Each structure stands twice: as structure tokens, then as C-alpha cells.
Amino acid sequence: MTHSEPEQLLSPFMLLLMTTAIAATAANLYYSQPILPLIANEFNLSDSQLGSVPGLTQLGYAFALLFISPLGDSVVRRQLIGILSCVLVFACGMAVWASNITILLIAVFLIGASANITQQLIPFAASMVPMENKGTTLGTLMMGLTIGILLSRTLSGLVGELLGWRSVFVMSALLAALLGVLLWIFLPVNKPQASLRYWPLIKSTLSLFCQHKSLQLFTFSGALWFASFNVLWATLAIYVSEAPFDYNAQQAGLFGVIALAGVIGAKVSGKWVNRFGSKTLIKMALVLAAVGFAITGLFAGNLISLIIGIILIDFAIFSAQVANQVRVFSIDPTAQSRINGIYMLGYYLGGALGSAAGLRVFSLFQWPGVVAISMLFILFSAALNSIAKTKLHSLSTV
């Protein structure tokens, strides 16, 4: 049994608070990466053991997408976000006081799982605005998400280098506590969309994916272009560390600044969705991404062409993501948390596929192989988007 939830006014203050919370929460997924050498030194870890730290964080996030995200449809979202905030503070505390790697791994898994706050806030905000404003709202939220991801490594590296790696988790705990309190005070109390118990709710999430062909097409299309995006970023540091660039790790890290183009793409695309429609905007974005990859391949070894290509790719991918989420949220307004959870899980798995494929292809064919497989992912994504546009005419303007 489901209930339709009346739209609530999303004030500028509430949108700012949600965007800030999304940025701060998403950053938790990447805080550990710059401080891995410091953790390795303290616990005397091998490379394989050390890789488990970011790996368990991402695994916790994937776990939450499937097993926690759907709860947003059946419980009061403010309460769920409050619980997740408490878990995040507790998990960061575990990391601060971790005396061995086992405790730290448990802590980072919980950090990844509680970072599901982000995926609760996005559908919550989407439910509070009319259809014609969803693009602009999601563009703002994705801008916050992008900023959180991009600044997390810089902030973590700076704090860890100055104050030690445990101070990074102290910082995260303080931010989570502050934002958790603010969200508890100011978030409205929504009426749950579904009255299902937990396991039927999880099963219904999978049923929704099977039921809606549009969700399947949107998910697979998004997963494929995100795979191309991760092919690039998984191999870029290796590529520029070799001739003719010969950059060190710090210099390679500066390419992350270029990725700020994604922030612009997320913001601008939110305004363009209503003008062009999601499917047309995604088509334009995929063409732009393909051009970006082509430039890096045709002028391989040239720094300017690489920078231009990265700007085009980042702008395009984040533009497509906002447009895709607008149409994903239009599928079933009574199941937005479940639909968003399964969609983001597919998106996340696509990114993991891209990272693995990119590293493998680079080892075999170097940068030309990276460009080729990225273009292939883009082509398949565009084909699925075209199918959705042709066969799902009723959503063609969404």
C-alpha cells in the first residue's frame, strides 16, 4: 500500500543546508585515500592490506544503496537521516581510536554505509519541488556532491599532513555531528510513501527495477557513461607519470582541479533540462564527452589537449547525470528512495567496471586503449539512450 506525498516547499535555506550536508557526507568516501601512507606507516601494512581501507569504505556505500536507501520510502526521512548521522559520528570515533587495522576496517565500512545520508537527501529534496523545478534543484544538489568529492582529497591530505591521519576522522565526526543536528532541527517531517516491512521493501526495490523498462534503460545508460568517466580517472595518474609528461604524484593530483568543470556542468544542466528535455540533453552531453576523449587521443602527449579533453568530459558526464536523475525521479513519485537506490547502485557498479577495465586496457594498449574503450562505453550508452527515446515516447520530454 502506498500513499502520495504532497510536495513541500523547499526554501533556499533548506536547499543550501541539504547541499552542504551532501557535500560533507560524500567527502567521507574519499577522505582515506590521501592519508593511506600515514595509516600504512602506523600499522605497518602491506599494499594489499592498505587497499582494504578505501575498498571497505566503497563496499559499505554499495551495501547501503541496496539495503538502506529503500527505507526512505517507508520511514520518516528525518529520523532515518538522524540515525545515519549518529552512526557516522560513531564510526568516525571508532576510526580515531582504532588500535589495529581490523577495528579501522569495521569503522570505514560503517562510514561508507552511513554516507547513505547523501542518497536520502537527494530524493527527499526532489519530492519537495514540482516537476518543472526538479532539474534546477538536482543541479544544485549535484554541484554540492561534486564539490564534496573534489575537495575531500585536498582537505584530507592537508589535515592529515599537519595533524595526523586520525585528525581527519575527528574533523569528519565534528562535521557530521553539526550537520546532523541542523538537519534534525530544520528538515520537515515527511509522510512515508510505503507501509511495507523491511524485507518486502527490499524485494519491492528489485521488483521496481524489473517492472520499469525505463529504469533499466536509464540505469544501464548512466552506468556506461560513468564507466567511461572512471576509465579516464583510474588511469590518468599513471598516464601522466610517464613520458612525455613525467609528472610526480603532487603534479598529477592537480588535474583534480580541472574536474571542477563538473560543478559547472551539474549546475548548468539543471537549468537546461526544461529547455531541451532530459533525453536530448543527455545526447548532447554524450557527444561532448566523445569529443573530449577523441581530443585526448588524437593529440596524445599534449598537455593542452589533455586539459581541454578533461574539461569537456567532466562537464558532459555531470550534465548527463543531472538530466538522467530528473527522468529517474519521474518514473514513480511514490518510490523515489527505492528507485534512486537501485539506480545509484547500477551507476556505482558501472564506475567500478570502468576503473577495472581502464587499468587492464592501459596495461595492454596504453592511452590509445583507454580512449578506445571509453568511446565504446559512450557509444553503448548513447544507443540505450536512443532506445529509451524511441520506445518510451511518453517520457520523451522528461
Kindly state the percentage of the chain with pLDDT values over 90.
49
Contacts 24+ apart (CB under 8 A), 38-43: 38/160, 38/164, 38/165, 39/104, 39/165, 42/165, 43/100, 43/101, 43/104
Q: Model confidence at 391, in pLDDT bands (50, 70, 90)? A: very low
Mean pLDDT is lowest, of 7-16, 22-31, 200-209, for 7-16
Residue 244 preceded by cis peptide, ω within 30: yes
At 111 the pLDDT is: 97
Whether the predicted pLDDT of 396 surpasses 50: no
| 158-170 pLDDT per residue, tens | 888 889 999 999 9
Model-wide pTM > 0.95: no
- Section 137-152 average pLDDT: 86
Residue 1 has pLDDT above 70, yes or no: no
Q: Which CATH superfamily does the domain covering 12-195 fall into?
A: MFS general substrate transporter like domains (1.20.1250.20)
Residue of 313 and 252 predicted with greater confidence: 313
What are the CA-CA distances from residue 228 to residues 173, 292, 293 (Å)?
A: 33, 11, 9
With H, G, I as helix, E, B as strand and everything else as coil, classify residue 293: helix
CATH, range 207-392: 1.20.1250.20
Do the domains 12-195 and 207-392 sit in the same CATH topology, yes or no? yes
Instruction: Give residue 359's pLDDT band: very low, low, confident or very high (50, 70, 90).
Output: confident
Cell digits of residue 258: 580541472
Q: Which of 375, 370, 347, 345 is nearest to 359 (CA)?
A: 370
Q: In this structure, what C-alpha cell is assigned to residue 2?
A: 502506498
Q: How confident is the model at residue 249 (pLDDT cuts 50, 70, 90)?
A: low
3-state secondary structure string across 115-156: CCHHHHHHHHHHHCCCHHHHHHHHHHHHHHHHHHHHHHHHHH
- What pLDDT does 287 receive? 97
User: What number is the average pLDDT over the span 55-63?
Assistant: 88
Residue 3 CB-density burial (10 A; 0-12 exposed, 13-18 middle, 19+ buried): exposed
Using a pLDDT cut of 70, give the percent of the chain over it: 94
Lowest mean pLDDT segment, chosen from 17-21, 40-44, 287-291:
40-44
Note the pLDDT of residue 100. 94
Which position has the higher pLDDT, 34 or 315? 315
Q: What is the pLDDT of residues 367-379, one digit of tens each?
A: 999 999 999 999 9
- Residues 6+ away with beta carbon under 8 Å from 45: 39, 101
What's the pLDDT tens digit per position in 345-357?
A: 998 888 888 888 8
According to the model, what pLDDT value does residue 5 have? 45
Query: What pLDDT is attached to residue 205?
Result: 87
Asked if 95 and 169 count as a contact pair (C-beta separation under 8 A), the reply is: yes
**So where are the chain's domains?**
12-195, 207-392
Collapsing DSSP to helix, strand or coil, 243 comes out as coil
pLDDT, average across residues 7-11? 71
pLDDT digits (tens, 9 = 90+) for 72-128: 988 999 999 999 999 999 999 999 999 999 999 999 999 999 999 999 999 999 888
| pLDDT of amino acid 253 | 64
Higher pLDDT, 112 or 397: 112
pLDDT at 56: 87
